[in-house]
Amino acid sequence: MRKYFILLVSFSLLGCLSKKEEEEGFVCEQENRVVKLEFENGQEYLKLNQPTELRTSFKNIKRAESSIYGIGIRMLGKKCGDNCFLCSVTVNEKSVVDGKYEIIVNYRVDDDKELKKCKFLIPVEE
Protein backbone atom coordinates (compact mmCIF):
# COMPACT_ATOMS: atom_id res chain seq x y z
CA MET A 1 0.00 0.00 0.00
CA ARG A 2 2.82 2.37 0.85
CA LYS A 3 4.46 1.78 -2.57
CA TYR A 4 1.22 2.69 -4.34
CA PHE A 5 0.90 5.89 -2.33
CA ILE A 6 4.48 6.94 -3.18
CA LEU A 7 3.89 6.09 -6.84
CA LEU A 8 0.66 8.12 -6.90
CA VAL A 9 2.33 11.14 -5.29
CA SER A 10 5.26 10.90 -7.75
CA PHE A 11 2.95 10.89 -10.78
CA SER A 12 0.98 13.81 -9.37
CA LEU A 13 4.13 15.88 -8.89
CA LEU A 14 5.42 15.04 -12.38
CA GLY A 15 2.07 16.02 -13.86
CA CYS A 16 2.15 19.38 -12.08
CA LEU A 17 5.71 20.11 -13.20
CA SER A 18 5.06 19.37 -16.86
CA LYS A 19 1.83 21.41 -16.80
CA LYS A 20 3.70 24.36 -15.28
CA GLU A 21 6.22 24.27 -18.15
CA GLU A 22 3.41 24.34 -20.73
CA GLU A 23 1.67 27.32 -19.13
CA GLU A 24 4.81 29.42 -18.67
CA GLY A 25 5.89 29.72 -22.30
CA PHE A 26 9.05 31.82 -22.58
CA VAL A 27 10.16 32.63 -19.03
CA CYS A 28 13.61 33.34 -17.62
CA GLU A 29 13.93 33.18 -13.83
CA GLN A 30 17.10 34.26 -12.03
CA GLU A 31 16.86 34.35 -8.25
CA ASN A 32 13.66 36.31 -7.53
CA ARG A 33 13.69 38.13 -10.88
CA VAL A 34 11.54 37.07 -13.84
CA VAL A 35 11.47 38.05 -17.51
CA LYS A 36 8.51 36.75 -19.53
CA LEU A 37 7.84 36.97 -23.27
CA GLU A 38 4.25 36.73 -24.49
CA PHE A 39 3.07 36.94 -28.08
CA GLU A 40 -0.05 39.06 -28.52
CA ASN A 41 -1.44 36.54 -31.05
CA GLY A 42 -1.28 33.78 -28.41
CA GLN A 43 1.03 31.55 -30.44
CA GLU A 44 4.39 30.30 -29.19
CA TYR A 45 6.22 30.74 -32.47
CA LEU A 46 7.01 33.47 -34.98
CA LYS A 47 6.14 33.48 -38.68
CA LEU A 48 8.76 34.34 -41.25
CA ASN A 49 8.48 37.90 -42.67
CA GLN A 50 5.32 38.68 -40.65
CA PRO A 51 5.32 41.24 -37.83
CA THR A 52 4.24 39.90 -34.44
CA GLU A 53 3.62 41.97 -31.32
CA LEU A 54 5.63 40.83 -28.33
CA ARG A 55 4.97 41.77 -24.70
CA THR A 56 8.00 41.63 -22.41
CA SER A 57 7.10 41.76 -18.74
CA PHE A 58 9.29 41.91 -15.65
CA LYS A 59 9.01 40.93 -12.01
CA ASN A 60 11.44 42.54 -9.53
CA ILE A 61 13.24 44.26 -12.44
CA LYS A 62 12.91 47.93 -13.37
CA ARG A 63 11.87 48.38 -16.98
CA ALA A 64 14.21 51.37 -17.28
CA GLU A 65 17.14 49.10 -16.34
CA SER A 66 16.45 46.64 -19.18
CA SER A 67 16.92 46.25 -22.93
CA ILE A 68 15.91 43.79 -25.64
CA TYR A 69 18.02 42.73 -28.62
CA GLY A 70 17.31 40.85 -31.83
CA ILE A 71 17.35 41.44 -35.58
CA GLY A 72 14.01 42.92 -36.66
CA ILE A 73 12.82 44.06 -33.21
CA ARG A 74 11.15 47.47 -33.10
CA MET A 75 9.83 49.18 -29.98
CA LEU A 76 6.17 50.21 -30.08
CA GLY A 77 4.89 53.37 -28.42
CA LYS A 78 1.92 51.58 -26.82
CA LYS A 79 1.52 51.46 -23.06
CA CYS A 80 1.18 48.09 -21.35
CA GLY A 81 1.87 48.90 -17.71
CA ASP A 82 4.70 49.92 -15.42
CA ASN A 83 6.71 46.71 -15.67
CA CYS A 84 6.47 45.76 -19.32
CA PHE A 85 7.02 47.00 -22.84
CA LEU A 86 5.64 46.14 -26.25
CA CYS A 87 7.66 45.61 -29.39
CA SER A 88 7.13 44.25 -32.86
CA VAL A 89 9.24 41.37 -34.18
CA THR A 90 9.67 40.68 -37.90
CA VAL A 91 11.87 37.67 -38.58
CA ASN A 92 13.72 37.28 -41.88
CA GLU A 93 15.65 34.29 -43.24
CA LYS A 94 19.03 35.68 -42.15
CA SER A 95 18.01 35.92 -38.50
CA VAL A 96 16.92 32.26 -38.20
CA VAL A 97 19.40 29.58 -37.11
CA ASP A 98 18.27 25.95 -37.00
CA GLY A 99 14.61 27.03 -37.11
CA LYS A 100 14.98 29.36 -34.10
CA TYR A 101 15.12 33.13 -33.64
CA GLU A 102 17.22 34.53 -30.80
CA ILE A 103 15.98 37.27 -28.48
CA ILE A 104 18.21 38.57 -25.69
CA VAL A 105 16.90 40.59 -22.76
CA ASN A 106 19.48 42.32 -20.57
CA TYR A 107 18.78 43.92 -17.22
CA ARG A 108 20.68 45.44 -14.34
CA VAL A 109 19.92 44.84 -10.68
CA ASP A 110 19.95 47.92 -8.41
CA ASP A 111 23.04 47.12 -6.36
CA ASP A 112 24.88 45.09 -8.99
CA LYS A 113 26.83 46.75 -11.78
CA GLU A 114 26.95 43.51 -13.78
CA LEU A 115 24.39 43.06 -16.55
CA LYS A 116 22.19 39.97 -16.29
CA LYS A 117 21.19 38.25 -19.52
CA CYS A 118 18.19 36.13 -20.53
CA LYS A 119 18.39 34.36 -23.88
CA PHE A 120 15.26 33.07 -25.61
CA LEU A 121 15.20 30.80 -28.67
CA ILE A 122 11.82 31.17 -30.39
CA PRO A 123 10.63 28.64 -32.99
CA VAL A 124 9.98 30.08 -36.47
CA GLU A 125 7.51 28.78 -39.05
CA GLU A 126 7.24 29.79 -42.69
For Cα atoms 26, 69, 44, give the angle at the middle one, nearest 5 degrees: 25
How does pLDDT run across 29-71, given as a tens digit for each residue? Answer: 988 899 999 998 888 899 999 999 999 999 998 888 899 999 9
- The domain spans of the chain are 24-125
The correct CATH number of 24-125 out of 3.40.50.300, 1.20.1250.20, 1.10.230.10, 2.60.40.1930 is 2.60.40.1930
Write down the pTM of the prediction.
Answer: 0.74
**What's the full length of the chain, in residues?**
126
Distance from C-alpha of 12 to C-alpha of 10, rounded to nearest angstrom: 5
Distant-in-sequence, close-in-space partners of 119: CB < 8 Å, separation ≥ 6: 28, 102, 103, 104
* Higher per-residue pLDDT: 64 or 75: 75
